[in-house]
Every structure is written in structure tokens, then in C-alpha cells.
Amino acid sequence: MEATDALDPPSRPPSRHLPRHRQPRIRPHRHDLRTAASRTDKDRENIRRGIRKHDWNLELAKQAQDFGFFYDRMHVPTMAARHGGWVRSERRDVAEHALFRRGMLFFLRRADERIAGVLCRLEGDVLVIRLAGVLEGDPVHYRDGAQLVLYHLVMRWAIEEGIAHAELSGSRPFISEGLYAFKRKFRPRIVVPRTHFARKRLVLIPRRDTPEVRDFLCEHPAITIDPAGKLHVTYLYDRDRPPRVDLPWDCSGITGAHELHLDDLLAGLPRPDAHDGR
């Protein structure tokens, strides 16, 4: 299966240079999740109880050594734990000069220990959360809810500062992603990014009809974009692979969801095993 980046305005169909031998599924390359800063997670009372239980509090840090602590001991280890050799992030110098020196760095503290952090940038009346991490990338800090509490406290800070919106940065266009599920807790609105990603599209073009391709397409329902620029969720399925409707999609900015049979999408492609059950 081939993944192709394509440049197209949001209101136009795929460019003519895309393969025409079949109809590919077009996804926004990325999408941003923006929430009103006055909104909190639906479990906010549980968050408050967790804050009291763990003695969590928010720290706004401004010194150069604070950035170094965040980047080297939180962000880099967290990205390595998540992505291994496929780490995607800002270089240290870019993060320091373009984000830290023009933004805000928050730490979640438990008593006297910093256990999680986020690096943000204020763009007009929008607080953009750009980089995040937990101490040494330790997954225990995700299990105890530290990252969720940190986002909650940062949004509460934004409210107190009169900031209208918080932007939770982006996610790839698959609702199976843990990052999408996490950010969805804050009831955001899905929007096309305001950056260069606005004109980019991710086009998945299957080359063969194999069980592995079917497994992947079924297990990862995608946010797709139509020629009018509206966002939808597409669930793929076949006889042996029911649509993953257990993965919730409902989010402001997404028009709706529909199901598409894999036989219709993959019709005419070569299959190594003609007896594969579908």
C-alpha cells in the first residue's frame, strides 16, 4: 500500500497528478484540535480529586535551565518511548528560539518534583500546545493521569488569563490513534490546520488486496475530506472484519460517519490468495 502526499486547496478534489486507475481515499495530512478554554474534560470532578490526592500543582517556568530540563528529560525521552526510531519533533534549537522564547512552559509538579510538562505558544487569543512530555518518558505518569491533569490545569490558567481558545495541536487522520482519543476528552473542534498542512492531503493507494492490507484499513478508521472540504469518518469492513464502530469519532467539526465495504474499495486489485475469506 502506497501513501502519497498531495497538495490541494481544501475545496478542490485531488490533483490530476494523482493516480487515476482507482479512487483513492483522501485524508487531511493532519488536523488540529481546538477547544474553548472554558471547556474541561467531562470527568473534571475526578481530575479535581486526583489533584488533591497527588498534591499536583502547576508551575509556569521561564528560565533557560527550565527549558533544558523539559526538553532533555521530558520531551525527548517521551518521544523516544512513543515512536522509537520514528521520532517526530522540533529540533532543540528551534524549540528553544521559536517556542520557549516566544511562549510559555508549564510543569505539573507533585510536591517538589516536576513530573510532566508542556511547551506552548500564544498566537493572538489562542494558546497553542506544541510539545509535551513526562519525566524520563515513564509511562506510569500517563497511567496515573498526570498528562490529563496538566492539560486541565493549563486550560484553567488560560481561562484566568482571559485567553479564548486552546489549540491541542494536531493528530494524524486516524481515530484509532491514542493521541486522538486523549485529546478528544477535551471536546475539541476538529479544524484544518492554519499552517502549511492546510493544503496537504494523505492519499492511501492500495496496490494489492492482501489480508494485511484489509486488517490495516479496517483497524484504522480514517478522517476523510470531501471535495467541499467537509470532514467525515470512514469505517471499512468486510465479511470477516466488522467495522470498528467501537472507536468513537463524534467530535465537533466532523460532519458524520459512513461505512464502506473493502470489496468495493479493493475491487480489481491482485490477490495472492484467491481463497481468502472476505
pLDDT in tens, 36-70: 554 444 556 666 766 776 778 999 999 999 999 99
- DSSP structure string for 211-276: HHHHHHHHHS-EEEE-TTS-EEEEEEE-SSS---TTS----BTEEEEEEEEHHHHHTT---S-TT-
Q: How confident is the model at residue 20 (pLDDT cuts 50, 70, 90)?
A: very low
CA distances (Å), 75 to each of 7, 67, 116, 154, 202, in order? 30, 10, 9, 17, 27
* Range of lowest pLDDT (100-109, 165-174, 224-233, 242-251): 165-174
Domain ranges for the chain: 2-30+196-266, 38-163
Q: Where are the alpha helices (DSSP H) in 55-175?
A: 64-70, 76-83, 92-94, 140-143, 146-160
* Range of lowest pLDDT (97-111, 170-184, 247-261): 170-184
Domain 38-163 homologous superfamily, CATH: Gcn5-related N-acetyltransferase (GNAT) (3.40.630.30)
Q: How confident is the model at residue 278 (pLDDT cuts 50, 70, 90)?
A: low
Q: How confident is the model at residue 245 (pLDDT cuts 50, 70, 90)?
A: very high
Amino acid at 64: A
Q: How confident is the model at residue 135 (pLDDT cuts 50, 70, 90)?
A: very high
Q: Is the pLDDT of residue 218 over 70?
A: yes
Q: Is the pLDDT of residue 249 over 80?
A: yes
DSSP, collapsed to helix, strand or coil, labels residue 152 as helix
What per-residue confidence (pLDDT) applies to 25?
A: 54
Q: How confident is the model at residue 228 (pLDDT cuts 50, 70, 90)?
A: confident
Could you tell me what percent of the chain has a pLDDT over 70? 79
Q: Is the pLDDT of residue 4 over 50?
A: no
* Range of lowest pLDDT (178-187, 213-222, 232-241): 178-187
Q: Is the pLDDT of residue 29 over 50?
A: no
Q: Is the pLDDT of residue 276 over 70?
A: no
For 213, the grid coordinates are 492490507
What per-residue confidence (pLDDT) applies to 199?
A: 79
Q: How confident is the model at residue 28 (pLDDT cuts 50, 70, 90)?
A: low
